[in-house]
Chain A
């Protein structure tokens, strides 16, 4: 009796999954495999792709700009992840207290997440405007000379990091809040009774307990940072002097401005390899953190 029922269920499941399967097949699996093949060709969208073997990867390895872009991407990711995690955690700790209008504050910090990135980038371009911008006007009050935030190669990258942090801060703050609310109050109380001060309670009780959240936020932020494209596209176009050209933007330029599809596909797979390596690292890290968690519990 059971077997036919399972058959029927299987048939239903198949039909229900079919549309999604087609969608994923046509728009994800096939293009992903296609772009892998493309990375071994030279193609400018006109005519047929020419098979060039590993030449695109070889060219990249020999291109000083590629290494510069990688280094810049790395520094962007590090700055972004560190700043994002630190501020999001600090905000979550503050908003986890019994303070007034906490709902309003949480909503306010979450606002940029639901905002369109295009609108946000245009807004920040105005804030950063060297002549009429809000930021320089505020700094002028402390007699700081005007800074060309987006057109000075020293400042452009930090300026972009700040916008990216602003954009997604609320989301990571929410994840930390959820983590914090799962911390049992008994353990904090027990630590207090043992004479632990606020810092010790945070360092030895709260932090180990939210470690899985911290790792998760860190990994998500890293992936997001590696994929950053919109802020660069909208605010600096990779300049000045290539100083904000990070891998996602350079990939786009190669594919759709310079029409070097093969090179762009190779870049995409370099990015893919980096993300796979980082995910593997996360897996190892998570298991170690998981072990911690058991001890703490």
Chain B
């Protein structure tokens, strides 16, 4: 009697762990409701053309890498995963993603040359390609044309410099109510200042932190100067935690560093005329990030051929055009980028997003990047807010990043 009960209970518990019997292809993605609304009709269309490949969409709006790792740990990692280049190395180094080079090489329709080189480079790790790119994300300068016109300041141009930007921003700043240029503590927004001066947080071999190198300190000072010396960027005391995109949309900020993802919101919210220009040239050029996101296949996927068919469909000219239409992304494909899908609607100079691609580069992302990024976001505000001088602020952060890079080498 007792034993029978025990067996029944065990059976009940195990039923929950039973392997999935359905052969549906699971496909995980993040994204806003608007993005999912774009994706769903595409998936329906794919389904009609490929009735033998049922697709189960797993929408993870928040904490995406976190959730996917937990799924991997419980052996339920999705077959097809949307990934971005900053978290990709962490997955790729553990061999949980499939190298897509052979599939791309043998495909009769899809070719590597269909995509921007930097996109493919961003989604590669140690020579292998782990995702087929959907978009390329980089940074440009957004500017409020009305504020420029009112102050009779010439618009930013293609070859303008950091000094030009400062000079213009000074004429566009009005005490406590209007600022020339945005200032954000997140590394993605200040890294272009460093790269354009030929320096970075780490060396390319990821051996050591280069924050305390004199050239890097000088470059960080140039960024800090926007607040501390020229007073052309808002301080925390002036605007609190308001996002720069919000301040820009309110017409209180003449220029901001931003990515394509703000465009749909700006199209809806902003009444004044606005446009984009390339990031200003520093000591060695105008260099912004070439980050990317795309679709990957899990190494454990039992139906890679079907997964590839789905990815091929999603990465087709037609699908990428649909994703591009809302203004959210810079498409990974030149044939879509040079079409009305990308150019219709503001900003008028959308071409800038494409023009900056050749000189751009992916963000360096060692396996401990999440922790390194935290140290930068948490540690540097002491200097950004003027509580402590920059050199003293950099010392402990630099030591910590060195230790993390060493830890990465060991693991």
Contacts and interface: CB of A to CB of B under 8 A. Distances in A.
A46 B72 contact: yes
Interface in A252-297: 253, 256-259
Given A65-B400, A130-B240, A131-B237, A22 B73 contact: no
Interface in A14-54: 14-15, 18, 22, 42, 44-47
A257 B385 CA distance: 26
B371 A257 contact: yes
Interface stretch (B31-39, B88-96, B253-261, B322-330): B88-96
Interface residues of B, number: 32
Interface string A223-244: 0000000000000011111100
B387 interface: yes
Contacts of A256: 66
Nearest to B97: A46
Interface stretch (B124-132, B140-148, B197-205, B376-384): B376-384
Interface string B239-250: 010000000000
B152 interface: no
Contact of B240 (A45, A129, A239, A259): A129
Contact of B72 (A45, A148, A257): A45
A63 interface: yes
A152 interface: yes
A45 B403 contact: no
A47 B96 contact: yes
Contact of A151 (B69, B72, B368, B381): B381
B186 interface: no
A153 interface: yes
B371 A258 contact: yes
B374 interface: yes
A18 B382 CA distance: 56
A183 to B, nearest CB: 49
Contact of B378 (A22, A63, A148, A242): A242
A158 B147 CA distance: 43
5 contacts: A130-B237, A131-B237, A238-B378, A241-B382, A242-B378
Given A240-B378, A241-B378, A42 B411 contact: yes
A45 B237 contact: no
Contacts of A129: 240
Nearest to B399: A64
B69 A44 contact: yes
Given A131-B240, A153-B382, A237-B378, A46 B371 contact: no
Q: Is the interface of A mostly helix, strand, loop or mixed?
A: loop
B293 to A, nearest CB: 19
Given A63-B403, A241-B379, A257-B371, A47 B237 contact: no
A151 B90 contact: no
Nearest to B240: A131
B72 A258 contact: no
B382 A44 contact: no
Contacts of B368: 258
Given A151-B236, A256-B66, A257-B370, A47 B378 contact: no
A152 B66 CA distance: 30
Contacts of A148: 236, 385
Interface string A59-85: 100011100000000000000000000
Contact of B90 (A22, A131, A259): A259
B132 to A, nearest CB: 21
A45 B90 CA distance: 10
A259 B69 CA distance: 9
Contacts of B382: 153, 240-241
Given A45-B73, A259-B90, 5 more contacts: A44-B90, A63-B403, A239-B378, A240-B381, A258-B371
A26 B90 CA distance: 30
A282 to B, nearest CB: 35
A46 B378 contact: no
A45 B382 CA distance: 34
7 shortest interchain CB distances as A-B pairs: A46-B94, A45-B69, A239-B378, A45-B73, A47-B94, A258-B371, A46-B96
A45 B70 contact: yes
B58 interface: no
Interface string A209-232: 000000000000000000000000
A22 B5 CA distance: 13
B275 to A, nearest CB: 32
B91 A46 contact: yes
Contacts of B399: 64
Contacts of B159: none
B44 interface: no
Contacts of A132: 240
Nearest to A259: B69
Given A47-B96, A131-B240, A253 B69 contact: no
